[in-house]
């Protein structure tokens, strides 16, 4: 063993495994773990603040849990299986429901049967995990009891009395309620081994902060940043234009409560500014898009004024940022200087359009991008509010710690939007810091820019890396935006819908071309015959002929319009993708109503299996990324074992004993 670095590494490893016996034991353990079936992966995209829907998908495993009940209890009638499923999803609510329905004696018998069923489910799900992993997943208060129940066979004559005695004791100590709740949560955790969020947690829906709280508590999760997430990340880094976009989107979809109540961000400065300058403006074009309008008319009109005020302020900031970043290629999106403020028209690409709204009290026609001292003061107040908000900073820090521009996981490629392509199908080249990047390198350099921005967010020096958040939000070659131009101004102010059209990136046109697809697979080093590309961003509705599965099953586009803001355009309520050791499932879901409705009926939302791809060979842990890491550990341990047996490294305990003599 001539490599000195390898020898140093093995000596360090020897401190963790100081004897031949300990090395051998660990080798046996790791080898056994490699041959366990791979865990179930759950993919969700474009949550957009819809906490109740998102939470339900986690609780029911997007239908996986109900499918397991069909396998475990083939003789059980559908009504009883549905009830049992809801005891897994919503144990507290179901206990409360049946406490009211049944008298005490019947209730005790009923709950005991539910517990017996839940124990059987726990046993079944535990088969594909090591005992060590099961122990780590157990609730502390019932860890010993659950271990005894799931690792022992109640049908065995020597154990049946012991098994029954445990349940008797649970009831005598009046712990059956807590035990059932914890057992249900344990089952939820075992059902899904890994959660993948393929972008867009924020905007449109009302409760992004609750979604983040849930994700942070999840046992195993990764996040691929979406274009809407990027705005909030930029806002938390102090990017003023990102803050304007966050506020504009929140006002547009009537979700300012997320900022005010969810995060406790003070929006009074913006309200005062808007009320002062738009006092006599009804701001009719800026009323919320959500169907559920606020019954408080005065508040509704104030939100519309805030909406218009922050939109105009955003358009002004674009002048500063787009001009100082010519590599963003966004100067053609500067439109305030294209307005004829006398006759209320605008000229875009040689065509003149009348404006639907011509009241611009905060714009100087001679210097339309000028930001006044009052506006600068407002922007500083808003920046400080976002930078110093503990909960928002905690959530965004989690996004940076557990998120990426893209992720290769178990040889599948996950990203939110697109791989920017030219018309010829080659990777688009983008200039960043005097150098051109494309493909995987473009993703990497942009991620680096964002991480640098977050790291230096409290620095007093100018943080121009912040500008990359807005490039990713609306840049022509942004992997997260995926369009040629964002027509925000046109949608607000121009009646002609042709002016609203946003041309999609060539990726969406060419991604099924075999040569292009092979180039993407090669660029990201994934297997063309086995790997999948999984992304969201563009809602697809299978009920109207859209295809979420593309490229002969190589691309899964899983944005199904979960947000209620899509309800008038999208007939379904989202997709979820499930990959387990046997199959790949794509489910479409009907739109979620309320948990109270489905608990009352004990009838889950309808989830239709849109695709099922069977693995020819069942996948085991050795087929996964974790398995690859374990194989390296095993190789290193075998080297350490050889070093011990050859005498190159002494066993620690033997060396210690010789010193004692």
pLDDT in tens, 93-114: 999 999 999 998 899 999 999 9
Residue 217, domain member (yes or no): no
pLDDT of residue 16 exceeding 60, the answer is: yes
For residue 353, being part of any structural domain is answered with yes
Predicted local confidence at residue 158, as pLDDT: 62
Tell me, yes or no, whether 215 lies in a domain: no
- Is 130 in the same domain as 99? yes
Query: Is residue 479 included in any domain, yes or no?
Result: yes
Alpha-carbon distance 34 to 367, whole Å?
Answer: 66
Helix (H) or strand (E) holding 236: helix 227-236
Residues 294 and 324 in one domain: yes
End-to-end CA distance of the chain: 31
* 562-579 average pLDDT score: 89
Which whole number is the average pLDDT over 522-533?
A: 96
Give yes or no: residues 395 and 280 share one domain: yes
State whether 371 and 395 are in the same domain. yes
Quick check: is 611 in a domain?
yes
Residue 32: the pLDDT is 87
Which residues, in sequence order, are CB contacts of 299 under 8 Å at separation 6+? none
Same structural domain, 11 and 50: no
Tell me the average pLDDT of the chain: 92
Let me know whether 387 and 339 are in one domain: yes
pLDDT of residue 159: 65
> DSSP states of 418-462 as a string?
---B-TTSSBPPEEETTEEE-HHHHHHHHHHHHHHHHHTTT-SS-
Query: How much is the pLDDT for 156?
Result: 56
Report the pLDDT value the prediction gives residue 659, as an integer from 0 to 100: 46
Q: Give the model confidence (pLDDT) of 262-320 as tens digits.
A: 999 999 999 999 999 999 999 999 998 865 545 577 889 999 999 999 999 999 999 99
Pair (52, 130) in one structural domain: yes
The pLDDT-based confidence of 153 (bands split at 50, 70, 90) is low
List for the chain the helix, strand, coil content (%; round to 5): 55, 10, 35
Pairwise pLDDT comparison (597 vs 606), residue with the higher score = 597
Question: So what's the pLDDT on residue 149?
Answer: 86
Claim to verify: residue 607 and residue 494 sit in the same structural domain: no
CB burial class (10 A; 0-12, 13-18, 19+) of residue 600? exposed
Domain that holds residue 310: 241-403+439-500
Q: What is the mean pLDDT of residues 421-439?
A: 96
In terms of Cβ atoms closer than 10 Å to its own Cβ (0-12, 13-18, 19+), residue 97 is middle
Whole-angstrom CA distances from 59 to 42, 90, 188, 402, 420 are 12, 8, 6, 21, 36
Residue 657: the pLDDT is: 46
208-234 burial, b if ≥16 CB within 10 A, otherwise e? bbbbbbbbeeeeebebbbbbbbbbbbb
Say whether pTM exceeds 0.95.
no
- Has residue 169 been placed in a domain? yes
pLDDT greater than 70 at residue 653: no
Whether 425 is in a domain gets the answer no
Q: What is the distance between the alpha carbons of residues 130 and 42, in angstroms, rounded to a whole number? A: 20
157 pLDDT band (50/70/90 cuts)? low
| Distance (Å, whole) CA 289 – CA 360 | 22
| 596 shares a domain with 635 | no
The total domain count for the chain is 3
Tell me if 633 is assigned to some domain. Answer: yes
582 and 630 both lie in a single domain: no
pLDDT at 277: 97
Task: Count the alpha carbons within 13 Å of 293 in the hemisphere toward its beta carbon.
Answer: 14
Could you tell me the two tokens for 430? 């983008």
Q: Please say if the pLDDT value at position 655 is more than 90.
A: no
- Under DSSP, the state recorded for 573 is -
Q: Beta partners for 432?
A: 435
Residues 101 and 13 in one domain: no
The answer, yes or no, to whether residue 23 has pLDDT greater than 70, is yes
* Contact between residue 47 and residue 195 where contact means Cβ atoms under 8 Å apart: no
What pLDDT score was predicted for residue 133? Answer: 85
CB of 523 closer than 8 Å to CB of 479: no
Please check whether residues 56 and 74 belong to one and the same domain: yes
Q: Check: CB of residue 90 under 8 Å from CB of residue 596.
A: no
């Amino acid at each position: 063993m001539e490599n000195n670095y390898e020898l140093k590494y093995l000596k360090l490893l020897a401190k963790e495994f100081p004897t031949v016996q300990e090395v051998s034991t660990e080798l046996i353990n790791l080898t056994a773990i490699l041959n366990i079936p791979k865990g179930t992966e759950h993919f969700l995209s474009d949550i957009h603040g819809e906490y109740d829907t998102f939470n339900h998908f986690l609780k029911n495993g997007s239908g996986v849990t109900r499918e397991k009940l069909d396998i475990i209890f083939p003789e059980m009638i559908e009504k009883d299986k549905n009830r049992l499923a809801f005891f897994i999803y919503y144990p507290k609510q179901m206990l409360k429901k049946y406490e009211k329905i049944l008298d005490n004696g019947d209730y005790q018998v009923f709950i005991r049967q539910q517990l017996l069923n839940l124990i059987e489910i726990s046993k079944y799900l535990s088969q594909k995990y090591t005992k060590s992993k099961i122990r780590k997943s157990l609730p502390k208060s019932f860890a010993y009891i659950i271990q005894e129940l799931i690792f022992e066979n109640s049908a065995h004559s020597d154990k049946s009395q012991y098994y029954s005695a445990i349940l008797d004791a649970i009831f005598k100590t009046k712990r059956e309620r807590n035990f059932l709740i914890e057992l249900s949560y344990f089952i939820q955790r075992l059902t899904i081994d890994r959660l993948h969020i393929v972008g867009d947690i924020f905007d449109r829906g009302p409760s992004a902060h609750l979604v983040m709280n849930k994700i942070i508590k999840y046992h195993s999760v990764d996040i691929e940043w979406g274009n809407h997430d990027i705005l909030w990340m930029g806002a938390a880094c102090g990017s003023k234009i990102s803050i304007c976009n966050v506020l504009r989107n929140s006002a547009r979809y009537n979700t300012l409560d997320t900022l005010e109540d969810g995060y406790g961000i003070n929006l009074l400065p913006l309200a005062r500014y808007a009320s002062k300058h738009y006092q006599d403006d009804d701001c009719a074009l800026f009323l919320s898009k959500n169907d559920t309008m606020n019954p408080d008319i005065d508040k509704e009109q104030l939100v519309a004024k805030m909406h218009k005020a922050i939109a105009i302020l955003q358009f002004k900031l674009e002048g500063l940022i787009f001009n100082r970043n010519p590599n963003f290629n966004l100067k053609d999106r500067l439109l305030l200087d294209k307005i004829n403020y006398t006759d209320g028209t605008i000229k875009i690409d040689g065509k003149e359009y009348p404006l639907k709204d011509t009241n611009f009290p905060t714009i100087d026609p001679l210097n339309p991008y000028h930001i006044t001292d009052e506006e600068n003061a407002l922007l500083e107040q808003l920046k400080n509010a976002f930078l110093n908000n503990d909960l928002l900073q905690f959530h965004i820090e989690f996004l940076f710690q557990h998120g990426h521009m893209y992720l290769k996981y178990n040889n599948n490629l996950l990203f939110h939007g697109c791989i920017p392509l030219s018309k010829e199908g080659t990777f688009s080249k983008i200039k960043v810091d005097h150098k051109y990047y494309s493909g995987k390198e473009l993703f990497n350099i942009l991620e680096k820019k964002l991480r640098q921005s977050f790291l230096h967010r409290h620095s007093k020096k100018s943080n121009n890396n912040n500008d990359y958040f807005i490039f990713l939000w609306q840049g022509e070659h942004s992997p997260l935006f995926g369009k040629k131009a964002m027509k925000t101004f046109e949608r607000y102010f121009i009646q002609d819908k042709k002016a609203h059209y946003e041309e999609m990136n060539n990726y969406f046109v060419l991604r099924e071309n075999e040569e292009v697809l092979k180039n993407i697979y090669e660029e990201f080093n994934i297997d063309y015959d086995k790997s999948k590309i999984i992304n969201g961003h563009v809602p697809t509705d299978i009920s109207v002929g859209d295809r979420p599965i593309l490229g002969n099953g190589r691309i899964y586009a899983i944005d199904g319009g979960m947000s209620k803001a899509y309800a008038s355009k999208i007939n379904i309520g989202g997709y979820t993708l499930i990959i387990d050791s046997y199959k790949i499932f794509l489910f479409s879901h009907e739109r979620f109503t309320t948990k109270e409705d489905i608990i009352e009926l004990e009838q889950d939302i309808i989830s239709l299996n849109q695709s099922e791809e069977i693995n020819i060979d069942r996948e085991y842990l050795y087929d996964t990324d974790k398995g690859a890491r374990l194989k390296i550990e095993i190789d290193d341990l075998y080297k350490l074992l050889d070093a011990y047996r050859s005498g190159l490294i002494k066993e620690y305990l033997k060396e210690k004993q010789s010193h004692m003599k």
